[in-house]
Amino acid sequence: MKIRRVSPDAERLTAIVEMARALEEKKDRKKYSLGIEFALAELVRSEMRRIAQDEPTNFGNRDILEKATDRALEQVHEALHRKQVNIDLQKYASTVREKLKFPAKEMQQLSNNLVQSRRIQKLGAKEELAADSGIHCIIHELGLREAIQGLLAEPIGDTRDLNIDGLREQREWRLNGDWFPFELLVEQFVFVIDDDGSVFVSTANLPIDLKDHAGALLRRVIDRLYAYA
């Protein structure tokens, strides 16, 4: 079974375009899609996280919420333009700005703390690696450096084909579930494969050699899972 998945943000963009197209077809300007509102809010929140992680000192005089909203709207406008859909997003944008005012302040504060934590190497590391197929992913160590709670593999890029059957074929592994989240049992570890293509394994309270072993197994799992280049 080859399952094509897209990143959560790409999925939200697609959903917004679909809902916007349906709205346009109705030709009823009074119609309001709660789905568009919720998806746009999540897109802006995701963009705020990205800015807070990657550009913490680069806010300038502009609020993180304004910057993220502008970028998310730009992505939505581009996606709508590509599909030749035209709807007014302003009423959704103002609701989203209001909703996310306080989370934005919190993220701005945390972003400053993150810079400091990274400087003193307080947090777990990130490592980019390539699966056998050439697909690149990032392995995140979750939590504080001295107490890594788990490892999370996240493929880079918007579209990923997941080789679920390849996991079933491995004789000493056992795959539970008929849809996401799948559970892959390898030795004493459970690898959780979710619908965004990510793979998680818990390492809470494990001694360092077992944690390293979980990391080595995770690499084998992603070689199989991301087998389609």
Partner 1 sequence: MISVDIRRKVITLSPHEQGLATAAHTRSAMAPEFDAAIAPRTTESRERLTISESTLERMVVKYSEQLVFQPLEEIRYWFTYSAGAFLEPGYPPLYYSRDRNSPVSPNKTAVCAIGEAMAGFIAQRLYQCTKLARPNHDYPDVVMEGQQKTYLVEAKATLQSMEEGIEYVVDAELPRLASFTSSAGQLDVRPVLGLLIGTCLVSESQYYCYMIELQLT
Q: Which residues contribute to the site for partner 1 (CB under 8 A)? A: 8, 11-12, 15, 18-19, 22-23, 25-26, 31-35, 38-39, 41-42, 99-100, 103, 150, 176-181, 183, 190-192, 194-195, 200-202, 204
The one-letter amino acid at 224: R
197 C-beta neighbours (distance < 10 Å), count: 26
Closer to partner 1 by Cβ: residue 133 or 210: 210
Quote the least distance from Cβ 177 to partner 1, whole Å: 7
Quote the least distance from Cβ 57 to partner 1, whole Å: 25
Closer to partner 1 by Cβ: residue 71 or 133: 71
Quote the least distance from Cβ 12 to partner 1, whole Å: 6
Closer to partner 1 by Cβ: residue 86 or 132: 86
- Extended beta strands in 126-188, E state: 126-130, 136-144, 147-155, 159-163, 174-176, 182-186
Closer to partner 1 by Cβ: residue 25 or 54: 25
What is the Cα gyration radius of the chain? 20
Q: Are 181 and 116 in contact (CB under 8 A)?
A: no
Quote the least distance from Cβ 103 to partner 1, whole Å: 6
Closer to partner 1 by Cβ: residue 33 or 108: 33
Quote the least distance from Cβ 95 to partner 1, whole Å: 11
Q: Which two tokens stand for residue 122?
A: 């307080």
SS3 112: helix
Long-range contacts of 83-89 (CB under 8 A, 24+ apart): 83/17, 83/21, 85/17, 85/20, 85/21, 85/24, 86/24, 87/20, 87/23, 87/24, 88/29, 89/36, 89/40
